[in-house]
Amino acid sequence: MIVSGSNKVSTAPTFADSLDKRIGVPYVSDGTPSQVLDIYYADKAVRKDAVLIDIHGGFYVAGKRQNNRGFASVFLKGGYDVVLVEYRVNDGTLDVSAGLSDCAAALDYLASNAGELGLNKDRMFLTGDSAGGHLALYMAEGSEDSAVPIRPKVFKPKGALLNCPAYDFASFADGDGFTKEALAWFIGPRYEDKAYLESLSPRTFVGSYAGPLFVSTCKNDFIRGQALMLKQDCDSIGRKIEFLDIPADDKKVGHVHNVINQELPESKTVNKRMLEFMNDILE
């Protein structure tokens, strides 16, 4: 099983660590250690008074917000404040609904307390990689559609940027290449409830979010088909999307390469396009 994130926290120093920050901010009362977020503030000399909120991946069972500090550094250098969101992952009793609920709570906390936190609630972008791409898109959809079962109530993104996202969550339960034990591991105890999984799938609500949307994938992305499916669905409903598909044969240019290895030329291309995408919206 390939997982896009690790539960081991990287302690390697990054540019983000040198900046003003708030670490381990709880976004729910009496929450768990996983229900926290970190806020990094761009240097005043380059600060755009805009925010990129990042939801990490990890195939719904792993991943830590701290491991995306290097990725955050790219956007901090570009003038964006960055928020790294932690959420509860599947553990055999919890499933993706817990992560979705946490993300909704985190986003509403940021929007409702933006002034106190020194953030601009009207210039908040949302990004996520792999499973985090699923969570980010679902939150963006829910911000505009009250029919989405788990949704933020006050948060409204300026745009959503997804890297190698999971999209048709329900399709994983079809069992193609996965044992029942694996499905229970990364989906949760209701892995056989197709209607339930569809209710938590971004594909079900693809027409709900009409805001700016950026999606990246690559030739060696093991779930590339998910991004291609999202692109096809957007095309079929006439929904504009900025889509970047990196054709490199280099095995290093794989799933969420721009998040885990920002120094690759292809990663720099993706992250530069992300910055340009947000900058164009703010102009």
Q: Which residue has the tokens 């009496």?
A: 30
Please, what is the Cα angle at 163 between 161 and 169, to 5 degrees?
A: 100
DSSP states along 184-207: HHHT-TTTT-HHHHHHT-GGGGTT
Provide the token pair at 94.
């919890």
- Whether the pLDDT of residue 46 is over 60: the answer is yes
d(Cα 231, Cα 243) in Å, to the nearest integer? 7
pLDDT of residue 91: 86
Confidence of residue 173 (pLDDT cuts 50, 70, 90): confident
> What's the one-letter identity of residue 56?
H
Predicted local distance difference test score (pLDDT) of residue 2: 42
Residue 48 burial by Cβ neighbours in a 10 Å radius (0-12, 13-18, 19+): middle
Q: What is the pTM of this model?
A: 0.96
Arithmetic mean of pLDDT over the chain: 94
Q: Cα–Cα distance between 44 and 42 in angstroms, integer?
A: 6
Query: Phi and psi at residue 251, in whole multiples of 5°?
Result: -65, -20
Give dist(CA 87, CA 138) in Å, integer: 15
The pLDDT of residue 50 is 98
Helix (H, G, I), strand (E, B) or coil at 4: coil
**Residue 120: in which H helix or E strand, if any?**
none
pLDDT digits (tens, 9 = 90+) for 119-145: 999 999 999 999 999 999 999 999 999
Given this model, what pLDDT does residue 3 score? Answer: 44
Residue 151: which pLDDT band, with cuts at 50, 70 and 90?
very high
Q: What mean pLDDT is predicted for residues 12-21?
A: 96
pLDDT at 4 over 60: no
Question: Which bin fits 95, alpha (ψ -120 to 50), beta or left (φ > 0)?
Answer: beta
Q: What was the pLDDT predicted at 6?
A: 63
Q: For 254, which DSSP code?
A: B
Give the Cα separation of 119 and 110 in Å (integer). 8
CATH placement of domain 15-282 = 3.40.50.1820
Other CB atoms within 10 A of residue 240 CB: 10
- pLDDT tens digits along 236-276: 999 999 999 999 999 999 999 999 999 999 999 999 999 99
φ/ψ of 192, rounded to 5, equals -95, 0
Mean pLDDT of 151-172: 96
Backbone angles phi, psi at 6, to 5 degrees: -120, 150
